[in-house]
Amino acid sequence: MANRDLKVGGTVPFSFFMQTLDWIVFIIPLVVLAVGVVTHRHMKSVAHFVSGGRVGGRYLLAVAKGEMQAGAVVFVAMWEIFAQSGFVPGWWSLITGPVGLVVAIFGFVIYRFRETRAMTLAQFFEIRYSRNFRSFTGVLGFCAGVINFGIIPAVGARFMVYFLQLPPELAIGGWTLPTHVPLMAVFLSISLLLTISGGLITLMVTDCLEGIFSQLIYIVLIAGVLFVVPWGDMAAAVGERPPNHSMVNPFDAWAVQDFNLWYVLMGVILSVYGTMAWQNSSAYNAAGATPHEARMGGLLGRWRELGKAAVVVLLAAGAIAFLQHPHYAEASQPAREAIASIESEQIRKQMTIPVALSHLLPVGVKGALCAVLLMGIFGGDSTHLHSWGGILAQDVILPRLKRAPSPRSHIRLLRGCVIGVAAFAFMFGTFFQNTEYIVMWFAVTTAVYVGGAGAAIIGGLYWKKGTTAGAWAAMLAGVVLSGGGIFAYKVWGADFLPRALWSFGLDVPRFTLNGIQISFFTMLIAVALYVGVSLLTHRQDFPLNKMLHRDELPLDENGKPKVPKRRWTLGRVIGVNQDFTKGDKWIAGGLFAWSLFWFGVMLFGTAWNLLGQAGWVPWIKPWSNEAWLTYWHVKAIGLPILFTVVTGLWFTWGGIHDIRALFRSLRGYQIDDSDNGTVRGHASDRSP
């Protein structure tokens, strides 16, 4: 391809084709992959393959698990939201901060699940409910999961096609083939090789190394974008919108569809309800060296995510400014022509920002972004392959075998299932055309399983009166309501429910439902059914302490457990217990204070602007567009950049420390072949 030098804003020369420096940066993922493959010799048991031997440290878990959120599909999904609604969802999402933090600090669901010592969620379902329930949920979770995963490799490959400006189609003989198909095959093959070589041990090491490199490269990306497109041009591009469609003022954006206040509120409730229910990274739930390490891994992951936000926002805002600001009209003309040539409307929306970035980013920065997203593709795809392949083996096939396989045969079964998931994903990504926002596709596919599973998980871990019948009722409600909602949505459109009510003679106004709303109402009905049916069928309390491997508390003179009385403290309120060291308390307390501060800012800002719009207090005026842009410059750009630098150094040290600790633990690991995810000698088929 020939070089074409352009000038952004008439001042900064750069080439939008991949140059030598870009390709040098681009090979970083391949070096990391080579290191990962070497780790396969440490995989010596089923427990190693499935859960990494349960020896993962907090930084290893935080960085490795977070890497699956750094792939092309995640960036494209977030860019879709930003292109539709700008900074506005970021204001309302401050509601989620304290909620999510309390969930993480308490180790809600994850802490108790780790205490059960179950390898997979469906294994827990067998322990808590019955083998038949495990089989059903295993099949359902697997089917929903692989369909959900099916679009991810295709989106990642398609991103690379448009970002690297490859031809959309390849001519092979008399046939034409979309370019993303062979590229998807290459990416899936590499991810598959990583996954089957050493299971979760390999994935933890490679994903952690990829995450460390990504965190450092984020700094390069931030500097590169701001060097080419200054914040003033970004602010001018996103700050000028028609009334009620603002991308910066949440109180002038009431006409924005889909990604609004209700989207955030429903999303936070669903995220708490579905904690650990969705199993796309299930192995990490059981990989912690202790329950406390698993909890701290979740907390540290939240610190790390604060830095990534600046990268996502800057890239999206820079691309929008490049396409819309008059300073870049001449330079962006090839990008706008390339976007207009994309035939599919939904793909055009998904690839608008990637195409703009391809023409915008300077030499070296383009290769850096490509390296980050390529590492994210490998990290995300391999984690999905491991999770869904493991669920197929552990929760669908294994319970149906009359005789438990030998350790070697068991590992072969796991590898075969992973290969099968990769083959399905390739075929699905080749032939299926997604016509919705990526996040809405994720919402409607996860709802089929999570709609009922959330009630069964929370009730099973925290409520001794929950019964197998209640779990069945919740799960079936999730399948019928979510699956039926998805079918009706696809066949009759988003207004299917009022149309159905009209057919029964009910006079209701027209309204529409999207994936988030279908999931939310399914959750409410599933919870009601779990509680109601459990109370109706309850015969005896379930022994939760035994399932959680806790010592029974001493009894008082009345035969009731002696519960030690503790005074109320802030630490107790936010979940800090005897497992927390002084450093842990600073990490948890600092994150809690940070989230609480911004939650307070959101409450104050909301009250001020609503009062200003109402005009009840003459001296209170709504914030101007300039004030909102200043706020976002600090909150969404400046502070996250600081966190990117700090966490880049912090987690590099922690990740390397935990990788070394992992190999030390594996050298002295005592192999137990009975630790293979099966449930033995447990009265799991009783109905209570």
Position 613 in a domain: no
How many structural domains are present in the chain? 2
pLDDT at 510: 66
Domain span at 183: 1-262+290-435+626-653
pLDDT at 683: 40
- Flag whether pLDDT at 10 surpasses 50: no
Same domain (yes/no): 141, 204: yes
For the chain, the residue count is: 688
Same domain (yes/no): 421, 464: no
Same domain (yes/no): 414, 457: no
Read off the pLDDT of residues 646-660 as tens digits, 9 standing for 90 and up: 888 888 898 888 888
- Flag whether pLDDT at 309 surpasses 90: no
Same domain (yes/no): 193, 256: yes
Asked if 322 and 331 touch (Cβ cutoff 8 Å), the reply is yes
Instruction: Compute the average pLDDT of residues 573-596.
Output: 78
Domain stops at, among 511, 531, 548: 548
One-letter amino acid identity for 486? I
Q: Which pTM value belongs to this model? A: 0.80
pLDDT at 5: 42
The token pair that represents 308 in the structure block: 């990534």
Position 595 in a domain: no
Taking residue 344's Cβ as centre, other Cβ atoms within 10 Å add up to 12
pLDDT band at 687 (very low <50, low <70, confident <90, very high): very low
Of all helices (H) and strands (E), which one includes residue 15? strand 12-15
Write down the H helix ranges in 325-406: 333-340, 345-360, 365-391
List Cα–Cα distances, 47 to 44, 124, 158, 629, 672, in angstroms: 8, 16, 35, 51, 8
pLDDT at 184: 93
Which has more confidence, 550 or 129? 129
> What whole-number percentage of the chain has pLDDT above 90?
13
Instruction: Compute the average pLDDT of residues 275-296.
Output: 79
* Half-sphere exposure at residue 147, Cβ-oriented, CA atoms within 13 angstroms: 17
Read off the pLDDT of residues 423-435 as tens digits, 9 standing for 90 and up: 999 999 888 777 6
- Flag whether pLDDT at 533 surpasses 90: yes
Position 136 in a domain: yes
Same domain (yes/no): 460, 399: no
Position 356 in a domain: yes
- Residue 652's SS3 state is helix
pLDDT at 535: 92
Domain stops at, among 530, 548, 566: 548
Read off the pLDDT of residues 407-428 as tens digits, 9 standing for 90 and up: 888 889 999 999 999 999 999 9
- Flag whether pLDDT at 568 surpasses 80: no
pLDDT at 582: 84
- Flag whether pLDDT at 125 surpasses 80: yes
pLDDT at 572: 56
Instruction: Compute the average pLDDT of residues 337-342.
Output: 88
Highest mean pLDDT among 372-381, 391-400, 521-530, 666-675: 521-530
Read off the pLDDT of residues 498-532 as tens digits, 9 standing for 90 and up: 667 667 776 766 666 766 778 888 889 999 999 99
Position 619 in a domain: no
Asked if 110 and 118 touch (Cβ cutoff 8 Å), the reply is no
Asked if 393 and 198 touch (Cβ cutoff 8 Å), the reply is no
Same domain (yes/no): 64, 172: yes
Same domain (yes/no): 110, 27: yes
Position 123 in a domain: yes
- Flag whether pLDDT at 642 surpasses 70: yes
CATH number at residue 116: 1.20.1730
Looking at every residue in the chain, the average pLDDT score rounds to 80
Position 568 in a domain: no
Q: Is the dihedral of CA 512, 516, 517, 522 positive or negative?
A: positive
DSSP 8-state assignment for residue 521? H
DSSP 8-state assignment for residue 6? E
Instruction: Compute the average pLDDT of residues 164-177.
Output: 82
Read off the pLDDT of residues 444-469 as tens digits, 9 standing for 90 and up: 788 888 888 899 999 999 988 889 99
Same domain (yes/no): 67, 115: yes
pLDDT band at 604 (very low <50, low <70, confident <90, very high): very high
Instruction: Compute the average pLDDT of residues 219-248.
Output: 87
> What whole-number percentage of the chain has pLDDT above 70?
83
Strands 169-172 and 12-15: unpaired
Same domain (yes/no): 418, 475: no
Position 202 in a domain: yes
CA torsion, points 150, 81, 166, 29, in degrees to nearest 10?
-70
**Burial letters for 581-607: b for 16+ Cβ neighbours within 10 Å, e otherwise?**
eeebeebbbebbebbeebbeebeebbe
SS3 string, 580-637, reads CCHHHHHHHHHHHHHHHHHHHHHHHHHHHHHHHHHCCCCCCCCCCHHHHHHHHHHHHH
* Nearest residue to 49 (alpha-carbon basis) of 419, 412, 376: 412
DSSP string across 471-489: HHHHHHHHHHHHHHHHHHH
Same domain (yes/no): 463, 495: yes
pLDDT at 56: 83
pLDDT band at 6 (very low <50, low <70, confident <90, very high): very low
Same domain (yes/no): 301, 324: yes
Same domain (yes/no): 478, 371: no
pLDDT band at 85 (very low <50, low <70, confident <90, very high): confident
